[in-house]
Structure formats: structure tokens, C-alpha cells
Amino acid sequence: MAARVQHALELLKKTGVRITPQRHAILNYLMESMGHPTADEIYRALESKFPSMSVATVYNNLKMFIEAGMVHELTYGDNASRYDANVSEHYHIICEKCGKIEDFSYPYLADVEHHASLETGFEVHGHRMELYGVCKACMNKESQQNME
């Protein structure tokens, strides 16, 4: 994982972006956790190491990472955006109880893009798929509460 962070930092340097300790820490956090944190979660995780860092610093860096193609912003209605450092083609399943997001792959959705293009004449640039349900941890918690 450290090699991936280092590669991303090198790409930023080549585009003239100065690598600050905060920028490095934010990128490292995103790539190491490979979760889908909000900007506030990133800020809270790093504030003890960088007490002078603001939430605005986190947002500004996330915006720059998005523009550089290193991070995707996931928006879900009125909820806070979440950020994903996995920029490969993949999909998300979201727990309706706790909000946990997990990645999964399903290669056959490229066929859906192709079919949509043929049927409509559109030039398809991408798609987004999300599944919703209840994660194992929430199901276990619920079944334990029912036993009590």
C-alpha cells in the first residue's frame, strides 16, 4: 500500500502540486483504510497529528485529489459525501442501518453499457450501481437484541 501512496504523491509532484505533510496524511489515510470516509471522519482521524489543520484543508485536498483522478466522491442524497480511493471499476453495497459501504465487482455490467449504447444511440461514459441492504454486523446485533 505504501508503494501506491508513493506513486500517487509522485504523480502530484509531476503536476506541480506541493506535497505538504497534511496532504500526504490525507492521501495515506484514504489509501490505507480503503474505506469510504467522510471529510469529517478524515479530519477527526488526523486532527491529533495535525492540530492546526482545518476541515476546510481536508475538503480542499479532497477536491484536488478528485480533480487529479485519484479519488472518487460518492454522494448519496442529503448525506455527507464519502470519498473512495479505489478508482478502479467497482460498485457499492450500503447498509441501510449503519451506513457501512463495501466494494464489490461485477464485470458483466460492461455489457449493460454496451446494450444501452446500442439501444439508445448514446455514447456511454460510465455508470453507477449501488445496492442497499443490511450488513452482517447489524443483522447479528438485531438478532441478539431479539434474543434478550
DSSP per residue over 75-107, as a string? Answer: --TTSPPEEE---SS-EEEEETTT--EEEE--T
In angstroms, the CA 13 to CA 50 distance is 22
Q: Which has the minimum average pLDDT: 16-30, 77-91, 118-132?
A: 77-91
CA angle 11/4/32 to nearest 5° reads: 125
Mean pLDDT of the region 58-83: 88
Average pLDDT over the chain, rounded to an integer: 88
Mean pLDDT of the region 1-30: 82
Q: Which H or E run contains 16? A: none
pLDDT given at position 127: 82
Mean pLDDT of the region 80-93: 88
* Bigger pLDDT: 70 vs 138: 138
C-alpha cell at 2: 505504501
CA angle 8/11/14 to nearest 5° reads: 155
